[in-house]
Amino acid sequence: MQGEPEVAVCRLGHRPGRDERMTTHVGLTARALGADRVVFPDNAGQSMETVEDITSRFGGPFEVELSGEQKSLIRDWEGQVVHLTMYGERVQDVEGEIREAHQEREEPLLVVVGGEKVPFEVYETADWNVGVTNQPHSEVAGLAVFLDRLFEGRELEREWEGADRKVVPKETGKKVVEPDSEASDE
Ligand SMILES: C[S@@+](CC[C@H](N)C(=O)[O-])C[C@H]1O[C@@H](n2cnc3c(N)ncnc32)[C@H](O)[C@@H]1O
């Protein structure tokens, strides 16, 4: 988030067609819940376009990149690397250390989530292998819970820049306005 050390998300692996929605949702979740950037594999161009489109309409800042060099991104990351995996240490046991590195020592954080099988090298390279429960579920759910724990809920209050629309929370119905106006009811 702005004013804080970078949080980037690396989505490892993408099977075109089959993983399209999941990869897109990793990007949308990273954006909505406070990360600064997502790095997709270089065959995930369609997901990149969708996340960029949402950012241009609903605001940023948020960056989306494609990379054919994700292993070196992880290996050479100048900061701390968290790999989300059901086999890892319990998030509630390590979130304090991770926050300390990120917020007190101001180290950029790379959060790695998998798709298909994650190479063992990633488990070895990560500073923390972190489980959001030790039950199998999804990269989107794991990422959402992890980011909310990392930011302790601050991401829910963030402001968005450069949006051409803003959702006004309502008890029922939908209200979308131009930023700085209270115009259109739906
Ligand atoms: C559907 S899982 C497949 C995992 C794959 N079988 C493997 O060996 O890594 C896809 C991704 O979801 C995330 N994930 C699934 N369950 C998780 C959990 N309990 N805690 C954290 N992340 C989880 C991990 O990032 C994982 O790589």
Check residue 155 and give its pLDDT.
97
- pLDDT value at residue 183: 52
Residue written as token pair 């994650």: 118
- Closest approach atom of ligand 1 to CA 134: 19
Flag whether pLDDT at 41 surpasses 80. yes
Report the residue among 137, 145, 147 best suited for mutation to probe ligand 1: largest number of ligand atoms under 8 A from its CB.
137
53 falls within a domain: yes
Whole-complex ipTM? 0.93
Q: Is 163 in the pocket of ligand 1 (CB under 6 A)?
A: no
Find the 167 Cα to ligand 1 centroid distance in Å: 32
pLDDT in tens, 119-139: 999 999 999 999 999 999 999
Please tell me the predicted confidence (pLDDT) of residue 182.
Answer: 55
What mean pLDDT do residues 94-117 have?
96
Q: Name all contacts of 60-64 with Cβ < 8 Å and 24+ positions apart.
A: 60/31, 60/160, 60/161, 60/162, 61/2, 61/36, 61/161, 61/162, 62/30, 62/31, 62/35, 62/36, 62/37, 62/38, 63/36, 63/37, 63/38, 64/27, 64/37, 64/38, 64/40
At 2 the pLDDT is: 87
Integer Rg of the chain from CA:
17
- Sheet strand arrangement including 128-131: 63-67, 37-41, 7-11, 109-113, 80-90, 128-131
Ligand 1 atom at minimum distance from 12 CA? 27
Domain membership flag for residue 33: yes
Give, in order, the Cα–Cα distances in Å from 21 to each of 14, 32, 109, 115, 117.
10, 16, 25, 12, 18
Domain count along the chain: 1
Q: CB of 113 closer than 6 A to ligand 1?
A: yes
Residue 52 maps to a domain: yes
Task: Return the pLDDT at 68.
Answer: 94
The pLDDT of 131-150, averaged and rounded, is 98
pLDDT tens digits for range 57-90: 999 999 999 999 999 999 999 999 999 999 999 9
**Whether residue 185 has pLDDT greater than 60:** no
Q: What is the pLDDT of residue 174?
A: 96
The answer as to whether 27 is a domain residue is yes
Assign 186 a pLDDT band (cuts: 50, 70, 90).
low
Instruction: Give me the domain span that covers residue 173.
Output: 7-177
Indicate whether residue 132 lines ligand 1 (CB < 6 A). Answer: yes
- pLDDT band at 116, cuts 50/70/90? confident
CA of 139 to the centre of ligand 1 (A): 6
Report yes or no on 101 lying in a domain. Answer: yes
Examine residue 185 and state whether it is found in any structural domain, yes or no: no
Asked if residue 104 belongs to a domain, the reply is: yes
In a domain, 184, yes or no: no
Tell me the best of 19, 74, 86, 110 to mutate to test the pocket of ligand 1, counting ligand atoms within 8 Å of each CB and taking the most.
86
b/e sequence 92-111, b meaning 16+ C-beta within 10 Å: eebbeebeebbeeeebbbbb
Task: Specify the residue with its C-alpha closest to ligand 1, atom 18.
Answer: 86
Q: What is the CATH number of the domain that holds 171?
A: 3.40.1280.10
- The neighbour count for residue 149, using CB atoms within 10 Å, is 18
Residue 91 — φ and ψ, nearest 5°? -55, -35
- Provide mean pLDDT across the span 85-114: 97
Q: How far apart are CA 113 and CA 138, in angstroms?
A: 9
